[in-house]
């Protein structure tokens, strides 16, 4: 199985740290944040990876090169316009070559064991897509996920604050079958002019395709703010 990691964003909520450093290269416990995602992919046996870059792409590409030092093989794909996660994934269509693939945002922090666990969950359930979940007070900053057992019944990207009837949030690690590209082809831009993966998955559900949701077993978050960065720095120091 191949992997796709989305690392093109500007990290505006992490400014001024990201004015000269792309978010995936910010250090956590002395390592770039992206290292921890690569740890998870390797744990799952996913070592042939497309890294979709954009903002300050050269700094990511010069650090990782062909990926050999990180124990993976990296193919770089440029997203020249910030048009959402769905647009970024669509750029990797040729790379994934009609096969299932693992997808992750580049700012996700969780234990490496969660990645192979998701592969097992996906295979056991025979899903068209499998997503990871975490519990939050209100998923308005991510994607609200509605569940029936292990099955996702709905997913709503960036719901209005205080209006979600679920505490499940999309955690940003996926296993996707090639059918995702059919949905991305037909996807309409949202109110921000973006094309996003959760919206494509929602359309899969509406078509009657089965989508699984796996809650993560340990601490997790996206590191999108300076506060989250500091919290993970402390957590990683405690784990030494």
Note the pLDDT tens digit of each residue in 124-174.
999 999 999 999 898 888 889 999 999 999 999 889 998 898 999 999 999
Structure tokens at 142: 């991510």
Q: Which helix (H) or strand (E) holds 74?
A: strand 73-78
pTM of the model: 0.94
Looking at residue 231, what is its pLDDT?
A: 84
Domains of the chain and any CATH numbers: 2-238 (3.90.550.10)
Looking at residue 240, what is its pLDDT?
A: 62
Note the pLDDT tens digit of each residue in 198-220.
999 999 999 999 999 999 998 88
Stretch 215-231: mean pLDDT, rounded? 85
Choice among 59-73, 97-111, 211-225 with the minimum mean pLDDT:
211-225
Report the interhelical angle of 114-125 vs 33-43 (nearest 10°): 40
Looking at residue 230, what is its pLDDT?
A: 87
Looking at residue 209, what is its pLDDT?
A: 97
Looking at residue 196, what is its pLDDT?
A: 92
Among 208, 204, 168, 167, smallest CA distance to 185 is for: 204
3-state secondary structure of 61: helix
Distance in angstroms (rounded) separating the CA atoms of residues 120 and 90 = 25
């Amino acid at each position: 199985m191949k992997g796709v990691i989305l690392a093109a964003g500007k990290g505006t909520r992490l400014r001024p740290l990201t004015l000269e450093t792309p978010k995936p290269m910010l250090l956590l416990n002395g390592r770039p944040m992206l290292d921890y995602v690569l740890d998870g992919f390797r744990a799952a046996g996913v070592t042939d990876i497309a890294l979709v870059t954009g903002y300050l792409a050269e700094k990511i590409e010069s650090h990782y090169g062909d990926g050999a030092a990180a124990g993976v093989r990296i193919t770089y794909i440029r997203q020249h316009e910030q048009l959402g996660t769905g647009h970024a994934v669509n750029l990797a269509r040729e790379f994934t070559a009609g096969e299932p693939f693992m997808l992750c945002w580049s700012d996700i922090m969780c234990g490496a064991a969660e990645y192979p666990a998701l592969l097992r969950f996906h295979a056991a359930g025979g899903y068209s897509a499998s997503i990871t979940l975490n519990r939050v007070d209100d998923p308005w900053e991510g994607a609200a996920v509605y569940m029936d057992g292990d099955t996702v019944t709905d997913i709503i990207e960036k719901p209005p604050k205080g209006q979600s009837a679920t505490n499940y949030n999309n955690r940003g690690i996926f296993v996707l079958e090639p059918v995702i590209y059919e949905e991305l082809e037909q996807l309409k831009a949202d109110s921000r002019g973006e094309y996003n993966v959760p919206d494509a998955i929602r359309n899969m559900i509406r078509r009657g395709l089965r989508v699984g949701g796996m809650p993560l077993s340990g601490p997790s978050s996206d590191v999108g703010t300076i506060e989250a960065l500091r919290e993970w720095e402390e957590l990683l120091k405690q784990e030494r």
